Amino acid sequence: MQAQILNLLQQLQEERGLTMLLITHNLAVVQHMCDRAAVLNRGEIVEMGDCDTLFRAPRTDVTRQLLDAVLEPTAAA
């Protein structure tokens, strides 16, 4: 259901040229849906930029910790 809603939002965004503000803790959703992202810590923006850069080269400890908290899938032995 979540994927259907996100796909619908993305379709509407493309068709109508909409800008959306998406608030989530789900980093996979951020990667899928967003061009730019901001990381908040206690209500303050600590880092903001394009998603590729933010995920590839975080500038703050808060962002690094957030990214490190996401479990990476491992190959089956």
Pairing of strands 36-41, 44-50: antiparallel
Domain regions of the chain by residue span: 20-68
pLDDT in tens, 21-72: 999 989 999 998 999 999 999 999 999 999 999 999 999 999 999 999 885 6
In 1-77, which ranges are continuous DSSP H helix? 2-16, 27-33, 51-56, 61-68
Cα–Cα distance measured from residue 47 to residue 41, given in angstroms and rounded to the nearest whole number: 9
Cα–Cα distance measured from residue 20 to residue 16, given in angstroms and rounded to the nearest whole number: 11
In the predicted model, is pLDDT for residue 73 greater than 80?
no
